[in-house]
Amino acid sequence: MDLALVAASALVACPSQPGLDTIASQKPAAAAHRPDMMVCVYGQREESGGSWSTRVVVYEGKRAVAELKLPARHEDKGGPLDAGAVHIDDFNFDGRLDVAVSWMNAGSNASFHVWIATERKAVFRFDPVLSDQGRLEVEPNRRQVRMVWNAGGGEWDAKTFRWQGSVARLVETESVAWSDTAKCLELITTPYRSGRPLTPQRRCRE
């Protein structure tokens, strides 16, 4: 494939949508070798500076190939959304690019809706396990995804997921919080097996 020709026919900016503002957009990193792909988020901007997302569209070249839909029970979580809150990566390490769009940002924290690319071209499925968990951190060397939530003051929580077939399974939780007993910021690590927590490990962070 001649990437120069593909790039020439790729979108530079999101196409306009009648009655909607472009809230955010993102292309894959150069290493993904997909210069023809762009994810565009549309919605309404408010005078207060906030914005509400109502449509998420995947483009290949200049053609819309998929609209990412939320299950009915998630439709009330459409926004607010801050610019730059689209994450494109291979979350399940199958060689296909997946999409995450934040519906809530709070300081360094964000909560995402996640769609996983399927074997069918331009078909994505909403992933309820990874959605609404926290900031996404993809760790390809360990073939896992971490979701992190910063509570401030050095305290934070994290969940680690690994894939079993097409399902993301929780394998570990971590939590850092002040312990009055140990008189320190204590890291509590809890491994999971077959969905059940094992004995947690506790230690003071240096």
Last residue of a domain, one of 76, 110, 132: 132
103-147 pLDDT tens trace: 776 667 778 889 999 999 889 999 999 988 888 899 999 999 999
CA distances from 8 to 15, 28, 30, 59, 143 (A): 16, 16, 15, 14, 34
Return d(Cα 153, Cα 146) in angstroms, integer: 20
Which residues is 106 bridged to in the sheet? Answer: 109
Question: Do 100 and 140 lie in a common domain?
Answer: no
Tell me the DSSP string of 117-149: E-SSTT-EEE-TTTTTS-EEEEETTTTEEEEEE
Question: Do 84 and 144 lie in a common domain?
Answer: no
- From first to last of the 206 residues of the chain, give the pLDDT tens digit: 333 333 445 577 899 999 999 988 999 987 777 878 999 998 888 777 777 778 899 999 889 999 998 776 655 555 555 544 799 999 999 999 999 998 776 667 778 889 999 999 889 999 999 988 888 899 999 999 999 999 888 899 999 999 998 899 999 999 999 999 999 999 999 999 999 999 999 999 87
Question: Do 111 and 161 lie in a common domain?
Answer: no
Return d(Cα 49, Cα 47) in angstroms, integer: 5
CA distances from 161 to 47, 142, 195 (A): 39, 11, 11
CA distances from 11 to 14, 38, 139, 170, 184 (A): 7, 7, 29, 37, 52
Question: Do 26 and 109 lie in a common domain?
Answer: yes
Q: Are 89 and 81 a contacting pair, CB within 8 Å?
A: no
